[in-house]
Structure formats: structure tokens, C-alpha cells
Amino acid sequence: MNFRKIFSSSVFLKSIFIISISILIFISSISYKHSVSLNDSSKWLTHSYKVHLELEQLITNLKSAESGQHGFIITQDTVFLTPYNTAKKEINISFSNLKKILADNKKQVSNLDFLNSLTTSRLKLLELALNLSSEKPFNKVLLGETMLLGNEVMLKIDKRVDQMIDLEMQYLKERRAKYENEISFTPIGTLFILLFSLLVFIFSYYKMNKDLLNLTKSNKELLIKTESFNHAEEIGGFSSWQWDLKTNKLIYSKNNYKLLGYEPEAFMPTLENFFDLIHPDDKDIILENRKKILNTNLSTNINFRIIRKDGSIRHWVSMSKLLIDSNSLKIRIGINRDITEQYLNNIALEEKNIALERGNKELATFNHAASHDLQEPLRKIQIFISRIVESKTSNLSETDTEYFARIQSAANRMRVLIDDLLLFSRTNKAEKVFEKTDLNILLENATQELAQVIEEKNAVLEAAELPKLNVIPFQIQQLFINLIGNSLKYSKKDITPVIKINCKKIMGWDEPTLKLDAAKIYYKISVKDNGLGFEQQYAESIFTLFQRLHQDSEYSGTGIGLSICKKIVENHNGFISAEGKPGKGATFNIWLPV
């Protein structure tokens, strides 16, 4: 039992930790020394190979120079001087490299200096032989002696190079033996100690820091969550609180103080201090809520007013919930939210709704007057004018007859205007009941209603197959009536009106210039005619209420028909546009979502 206590104590674990660190440092120093030795051996190996290669290259270059010299002497062709000159340059480079490589070896430096003098002599003799061979006539005896002397120097060079290579091979052999000795030294015992110390180190580190790591992790997570929640409170305009029902202790979040108009921790969070900030008319709400919290475990949700530090009154909503842990600790947690802006907006919205309701009642009164009080006098005017004209035709002057005709025309126009206004009002106010409807049937009904006008004008109506859609049937039928009627009204004289109705399915992104939902599917329905057309600059204004492009009395109308079309399409979350050219006709495009 005592051993287990010692083993579990922090002193024992710390001692093991220190010993492990010491062993690791010791092994690391041995490993470092071993690595340095291996690195040095490798460097010396590379050094010897470099010296060997450079010496071999030097001999090769000298022989290349000799070959070039012999070729020139035999052929007198300057082409052979190219390898000769190149070899001379390469020889200088080889000596330069060898000086750098052998700079730390005095014996080899001495050999290199002697080799350099021999090489210089050999190059001079080669140069002399070349000069002698170029003379005309050249001295064969002197040339032969020069070349013989050159061969003797070359033999000395070969001998010196062999000595240097042998010396480097001796060095190489010694260094290789040292390198193999270093390689053969494998500290098995050290490896075992290393593994043991690592295991002990890991175990002690784990035992020593397990709780510390958990505590640090928990603290970090708690700090992040606390800061995140504080920011969320500031952004969302709410605060939080905790109430320990056993100790009666309250804890406020920072933002709770700010919502009350105070700096964080400006006062002690007690029930009495908070009660002092409640609006006098709402104190009973707080007392009643307190009883509910103490006597039940139910969640609460109350609205009340508080008086901030600056005297301003704010509307709050407070929600709370009870938490009970395994130790029967009862804590009530809650959230306070400042809803003053929402409360004021609701009041303003209620006032607007009241005003809107009043306006709707006035509009209903107007509709009633338009449909009854205005139409009845108008109907009587039309009847009595007709009777006067019929009974007094022979007694009326030409001027009186014209006046009565104008009165009757104005009365008829006023009746059409009242009917159109009622239709527009109905489009705005009618209950929007959508039904799955075949648009072909609605189009057929519209053409039946316009059959007399179509027959009078000998109009040709060409319609493609239309889809079934969820629509308000009577409104879509009115849409077809208005658009086809508009094309018939503004058709050209002495030219057969041709009205073409086409339909195709598109995606919202196919029409980027329109305000369509890119992800939705639409049916694009086009109504095209060959009538009078219009200037494109009026393409939007023609949908404005009472807007007419043709003021000529021969084109009847009130300027409401296309406004009704636009309202109907908007009721279906669609879009309508117009295209036209004077004398070329007009096209009305409607996009209805599937």
C-alpha cells in the first residue's frame, strides 16, 4: 500500500521524469558524437575520390594536348590545335581544383607543386615542338630531341601522379577502415536504455500531466465558450443570469449590466437590487413570477418594464428554466432580452393596420358607391337621353342632336370607366384561391367572350398548347381577355389581325435581366400581334393606371386594362413585359412560376 502511494506520488513521478531526461541527454550526446564521426568519415571518403578523379583528369588532358600536337605536326592541319588548346585550359582548371581539395595536406601540396612545375615544362616543350614544326624548312633533329625530352618529362609526370594517387589510396584505406569501424559500432545497450527511458518518460509525463492537461483543456473551452456567449449576447441584445435557489445567490452576465445601463460588476447582483430597477406598475409581475419559481419546477416566460440608470424605460422579456444535478443542487438559469424596439414596432404596426383597415373600409364604401350610387344615376341619364332622342328626333335641331350624342357617348365612356375600376379593385381585393387549372380552357373561355369582336375583325388567333398551373382561374381568364382585346383594339385597318400565343418552359437564370428567381422554373407565355405597335420607350409606362398611348377617340379605352394585367401577374408571383415597334405590332410576355 505504501509502495503504491510512493509510486503514485508526484515526487516519485518527477524524479523518474528527471532521470529520464538525463538519460535522454546522455544518449543524445553519444548519438550526436557518433553522427559527427560518420559525417567526417564520409567527407574524407569523398575527398579521396575527388583527388583521384582530378589527377586522372589531369593526365587525360595532358594526353589530349599531346594527341593534338602530334596530329598537327603530322598533318599541319590547325583542326588538331583545338583539342590542344582546350586541354591546356582544362589542365589549369584541374590544378585549381586540386589546390582547393589538397589545401589541408602539406605533403600532397608539395607533390602538387612539383607536378605543376613538371606540367608547365611539358606544355612548354609541346609549344616549342609546335613552333619548330611550323618553320620551313623545320629542323628535324631539334624537333626530335624536343619531343624526346617531352616524353621524359611526361614519364616523370606519370610517376608523380601515381605517387599522389598511391598516397591518396593509402589515406582512403585508413579512412575506410575508420569509417567501417564507426559503422560497426552499434550501441545496442544504448538503444535499450533509450527505449526504456522513453517508456518511463512517457509514463511519468502522462501520469503527471493528465489532470493538468484536462484542466487546461477545460479552462480553454470554458474561456472560449464564455467569450463566444458574451459576444453572442451583445450581438443578439440579450443577457443571462443564474439563481442558486439554496444559497439565494445571483450571477449576472456582463451584458445584463449593460442592458440595465451600468458597467459590468457595477453593483451586487441581488434580488433586492434588481427589484429596485423594475417599473412600479410591473413589480407585481415580478413578485408573482418569483412565487412560481420557488414553488414549482416549471419554466417561466414574462414581460415587464425596467428603468435604466439613465431613467429610460425599456421593455424586457425574461425566460427561465430549472436545473437540478445529482447532488440536488437547484439552479434557475434564465435569459433577459430587450424587446423595446420590437414592442414599439408592433405598436406602430398596429397603428398602420388600423389606418389600413380604415382605408379599406373607405375603399369598400367607394366600391359600393361606384357599383350602386354612381351607376344608377348614370343608367337613368342614358335611359332618359335615349327616350328624348327617340321621341323628339324630328323636333331637335342638328346641333341639339349632336349635343345629345356627345352626352350619350360620355355616359357610355363613364360606365366603361366605372366597370374597369371595379374590375381593378376586384383584382386587388379578391380572395386569392389557387386551383390546378388547364390554361387552354381559360383561353377558350376568353376567346368565346371576345367572339363578336374577333368575328367583326376577321381576326386569326393561333395558340400553342398551354400547361396546367396552380392559378386564380377568373384572373388568368381576365388576363387573356385584356391582352387579346388590346391586340384587337389596336389592329390595323384593312389588314387581318393575327394574334399568336406561344408558350415554353424556362429556368429563372435564362432571363438574367428580369427579377426572376434563378432556381425556379417558369412558363413564358407570349401574346404577339401585327397591329399598330408602340415606341419601346413606353414599354413600362403602358402598365401604369390610366396611361393611354393613343388619345384618338376612335380607340376606346380607359387606360386600366394593362394595369389589371400587371396586377394579375403579380398576384401569381410572375412578371410581365412588353415589346413593340410602331407599325410592326406588339408582344406581351408573361412569366408564371410552376
Ordered DSSP codes for 433-490: --EEEEHHHHHHHHHHHTHHHHHHTT-EEEEPPP-EEEE-HHHHHHHHHHHHHHHHHT
Q: Give just the sign of the alpha carbon dihedral 339, 342, 345, 350.
A: negative
- Given 317, 338, 359, which residue is the final one in a domain? 338
CB 69 within 8 A of CB 126: yes
pLDDT higher at 396 or 555: 396
Answer whether residue 207 is part of any domain. no
Whether the pLDDT of residue 502 is over 90: the answer is yes
Q: Which residues of 475-512 are buried (b: 16+ CB within 10 A; e: fewer)?
A: bbbbbbbbbbbbbbbbbeeeeebbbbbbbeeeebeebe
pLDDT in tens, 123-142: 777 777 777 777 777 677 77
pLDDT in tens, 367-384: 655 555 566 666 667 676
Averaged pLDDT for residues 223-245: 72
Answer whether residue 536 is part of any domain. yes
CB 504 within 8 A of CB 521: no
Domain count, the chain: 4
Whether the pLDDT of residue 174 is over 80: the answer is no
The CA–CA distances, whole Å, from 81 to 35, 59, 61, 84, 88 equal 51, 18, 13, 5, 11
Same domain, 505 and 523: yes
Round to the nearest angstrom and report the end-to-end CA distance of the chain: 81
Answer whether residue 197 is part of any domain. no
Same domain, 317 and 396: no
Distance of CA 267 to the CA centre of its chain: 45
pTM of the complete model:
0.40
Same domain, 163 and 51: yes
Report d(CA 532, CA 317) in Å as an integer.
Answer: 65
For 527, the domain range is 430-593
Rounded (to 5) percent helix, strand, coil in the chain: 65, 15, 20
Same domain, 329 and 353: no
Report d(CA 275, CA 540) in Å as an integer.
Answer: 62
Same domain, 323 and 372: no
**Residue 335: phi, psi to the nearest 5?**
-130, 135
Answer whether residue 218 is part of any domain. no
Element at 432 (helix H, strand E): none
Same domain, 450 and 308: no
pLDDT in tens, 394-414: 566 667 666 666 776 666 666
Report d(CA 122, CA 98) in Å as an integer.
Answer: 19
Q: Give the single-character DSSP code of 369.
A: I
CB 69 within 8 A of CB 82: no
Same domain, 157 and 251: no
The C-alpha cell that represents 474 in the structure block = 377568373
Cβ-proximal residues to 476 (8 Å cutoff; 6+ apart), any chain: 437, 439, 442, 568, 572
Same domain, 411 and 263: no
Averaged pLDDT for residues 95-114: 79
Q: Give the single-character DSSP code of 301.
A: E
Same domain, 464 and 568: yes
pLDDT > 70 fraction of the chain, expressed in percent and rounded: 70
Whether the pLDDT of residue 1 is over 50: the answer is no
Same domain, 243 and 298: yes
The four Cα atoms 471, 474, 475, 476 give a dihedral, to 10 degrees, of: 60
Answer whether residue 375 is part of any domain. yes
CB 233 within 8 A of CB 240: yes
CB 588 within 8 A of CB 526: yes
Report d(CA 455, CA 442) in Å as an integer.
Answer: 19
Report d(CA 394, CA 400) in Å as an integer.
Answer: 11
Confidence of residue 419 (pLDDT cuts 50, 70, 90): low
pLDDT value of position 67: 74
- Given 374, 403, 429, which residue is the final one in a domain? 429
The CATH number given to whatever domain includes residue 496 is 3.30.565.10
pLDDT value of position 79: 73
CB 483 within 8 A of CB 445: no
Answer whether residue 199 is part of any domain. no
The CATH number given to whatever domain includes residue 270 is 3.30.450.20
**Residue 578: phi, psi to the nearest 5?**
-135, 145
Relative to beta strand 238-244, strand 249-252 is antiparallel
Confidence of residue 31 (pLDDT cuts 50, 70, 90): low
Element at 321 (helix H, strand E): strand 313-324
Is the bond preceding 137 in cis, omega lying within 30 degrees of 0? yes
- Given 410, 429, 448, which residue is the final one in a domain? 429
Same domain, 173 and 112: yes
Answer whether residue 202 is part of any domain. no
Same domain, 175 and 64: yes
